[in-house]
Structure 1
């Protein structure tokens, strides 16, 4: 038996128990009051059957608190005639008026306060869970807003380059006999280069597409890596290190994730001359 797996199993179980405890802790008081029903009670019963030390201890605390309510009940006062007979037989005098009995309404009020405290704890935990969920939704919405803003800026920059005076249009056609769709580049000497395509298939797993500027002299220079989206749309905005005047062609190859310093010759998929 693998000792590492033997150690990992208890840790995994421990993490699961802690996760369940966090979700079930708001039900302790209601369970102790026998006010918990349905799926919540079934979930807590199943959890307690696993002898969770945290939930068992917390439930005992809740039961103790509920048990204290029994001591808040008013004491039964004996009938006046019986009380007089007992006092007379014992030769005692009538108790002083100062001792008296605590009024029933005081006990009722105390019981109401305890019940209200239990209810408040239950509600506070429920509201805290709702607040945490709402905060998670706000963070997710904020993240999505940032993504949309970044995407908007990308499309805006691509449109400016594409429609600018002096932008050169370059068609990149599939190399060899591959049935890939054409992609198109728009290169402005000062503003940069845009690569766009539609219905482009995804690269093989753990690979990426890489755009290259092939200069008139020297080795190809990387202009960036990219992936098509789920619909096969490609939009890359780059600022090549090579100048438009020195470029002889553009090419796209499929490379391992992260790209390579130089293209793999038998993995070049698109090529287009810079005329």
Structure 2
């Protein structure tokens, strides 16, 4: 029978609908969407929004504030044996990363007010001494925070010595954004290697690997992250300057138990007795 105009139109519509369904199915396959609501896209910690969240989480522990950008000017001796602690992640005069920040700043802005303290910073590295520093240095640090070049120096040192190596190691271990953050926070608090009186990230990771396999080795991520946090709690117990484990137990451990492997917001946590919350974006 010869097809009518109406039947031709219906056939064309059916073909178009079929094509649209095929295209939608392909998109779902490519994006990994199953149609379930509320699933978070997989995004690494170096995504700008995730990195901002990571900085808020670190700042809640380091400075009791989510406003991490207000911490460029922060500096004080907190009595942990590392001299002055300062800036957006707690650079220390005793560990050498504060020296690295000021060296970066001097390279970008020769003659800046902090440059003259470079010899003193080199001399106190490895100790808690304030020799050649004191109030004039802390005042100069706080004033320098208004200079974009100084803020950039802090950002660059954070990324070079802490954020980038932590995220790279976590990616190699097959970890999600939460695992990447857990590695980063361990880098910030403990550093990479062991020092006198302090257990470093590398030792903490070895302890975790002795108990569980990371996803890159076929292990379950949540089980591995609990093993890593257990090893970190053990490391904190060995440090005279650190005794409070809430940074782990009532913050990061909570996120693991809730299954927030993509650091899905809202996030609620407690650290050092204070409560924090970051709502959805």
Q: TM-score, normalised by structure 2?
A: 0.25
Q: Which has the higher helix share?
A: 2
Higher alpha-carbon Rg: 1
Q: TM-score, normalised by structure 1?
A: 0.26
Q: Which has the higher strand share?
A: 1
Q: Which protein, 1 or 2, shows the higher relative CO under an 8 Å CA cutoff with sep ≥ 6? A: 2
